[in-house]
A and B are shown apart, each in its own frame.
Chain A
């Protein structure tokens, strides 16, 4: 790149003659800007400025704007400024730029402390808002469910089956694999540490109770929240963005009944099945590791398991599953409906959906633990 100047100045007392040279285009804009700012600063006490544009070969919006800035810089000090020699075809552009009004935009950020306090307040209100939204959605769901119960033909069976296929059937392989691995790991860790006390056999109790009561359903729910909850939010959210939900409303359909009820029912049916399959896979994995790594014979594992767990252990796990499914579905739907126009908002709500539903599933699990303990299960 050449380094010759783009603006030459010769001062003569209070008169300043400036001559533009070369290409005043985007590629030279940075250099030109520096020269122009320098010129305006250097000749602080001139009264008359003449700018000769004769030798400017090319001019684009960038150059035209910088010329305008040069003129404005001198005019603001009360100099009278003249531009001469401008090529005819560039005149409209320079005139266009001349009419641009710059005003200081609104201040970008208020006081830091106020900003921090305000965001704390906004967050608290948002938490209250999401609680209200949850209750609201449960109510709307109950209404839709009642309508379907009164007139079962309103149930979107095709949609329900399609969602069941997505949520449950297609989720089976990955859920079996993950729960199997978790079962293996628990058994291995248990054997490794229990062996120090000669209590290897108790690993069967640990795997059985942990998997059936807590881990089976919890891991399945976390997987489902990540797999299906996020998909629900993204689907409903993009339908919201494309005004499909508004279209449903104007045709007299209730989006809750058409879109959300089948999805949540699919979760409520699908998650217990997945939780059952997941628990079995985890027990299988635990048994396999106990046999191969811990030397506990499968026969012994099974008979020990029969003593360690009761039907209650199994029931505790399975009772929790549909409630957790409901929470995942409701959170996913609320977040989906909260999507606004932008792609970024879709991403934010999907993230929020997964994080919130996993959090709520774990909180719910805690409440169930207290509940089952107090009724002695």
Chain B
């Protein structure tokens, strides 16, 4: 398996090109995700963040380049290897994508039942355990997704993404649509789970607070390329105009600190 800086690379994206018709969304994108880190993936609306995520997990076809996950070239794997890799990742979709005709319990048990042959008792107990891990309790077990609030939907969807104990979780805007308190809770939940389960987290987000508090590294997508990848300090120090506008804008911590005349958090 490839290694960079002494850390194991679990997702390796090389020269990936994705387009729709004449419109090229991703133009020779390169990106590495290391084991055990939380990578925040940012970019303007419509820049193709979700497109890259969906390409990595195989929902969109690519026109060129290679994507390796756990060292398997996803463009050339056999079906059984692909299945094995798919078992090792979990995906949290932006709207949750819970199965609307199944209860929360059935939603959580669905992937487990499909891949593993477990007793009903163990399935039921694990459903409760996963729910408690994401900060809910067994009172929501028999509810249908349409009866859940936005925050609960995200939590149940996260529990489902974690149902098979994946090594990588992909999160597509996990905090969008949550209030700041809920979003903060969700961030710390992700950080806790990452520590307890040793997860690698690939998080598409717009939430500057999430980037500050939980992300180990940040990758920035603009003009169809990853223009920067590194820690928050690197981002703040960058002189790229888009990066500067993003991390020093009115809504950023640096921007707000400057507005109120308080001490700046980082050098400009």
Contact = CB atoms under 8 A, between A and B. Distances in A.
B128 interface: yes
Interface stretch (A163-171, A191-199, A341-349): A341-349
A342 B144 contact: yes
Given A33-B118, A60-B165, A89-B198, A342 B129 contact: no
Contacts of B45: none
Contacts of A61: 126, 129-130, 133, 162, 165, 197
A344 B117 CA distance: 27
Interface string B194-212: 0111100000000000000
Contact of B146 (A29, A30, A106, A341): A341
Nearest to B127: A105
Interface size on B, as a range, is 20 to 34
Contacts of A126: none
A47 interface: no
Contact of B196 (A96, A344, A345): A96
A100 B132 contact: yes
A106 B137 contact: no
Interface residues of A, number: 30
B119 A30 contact: yes
B132 A99 contact: yes
A102 B125 contact: yes
Contacts, number: 76
B132 A342 contact: no
Interface in B131-158: 132-133, 137-138, 141-142, 144-147
Contacts of A92: 195-196
Q: Is the interface of A mostly helix, strand, loop or mixed?
A: helix
B122 interface: yes
A297 interface: no
Nearest to A343: B100
A65 interface: yes
B94 to A, nearest CB: 15
Interface in A20-48: 25-27, 29-30, 33
Given A61-B197, A100-B129, A343-B101, A105 B145 contact: no
B138 A27 contact: no
A29 B118 contact: yes
A101 B141 CA distance: 14
Contacts of B137: 101
B117 to A, nearest CB: 6
17 contacts: A26-B115, A26-B164, A29-B116, A30-B116, A30-B118, A30-B119, A61-B129, A61-B197, A62-B122, A92-B196, A99-B132, A101-B128, A102-B138, A103-B138, A105-B124, A341-B145, A342-B146
Interface of B: 100-101, 112, 115-119, 122, 124-126, 128-130, 132-133, 137-138, 141-142, 144-147, 162, 164-165, 195-198
Given A30-B118, A100-B129, 8 more contacts: A30-B119, A33-B119, A60-B165, A60-B197, A103-B138, A105-B141, A341-B144, A342-B146
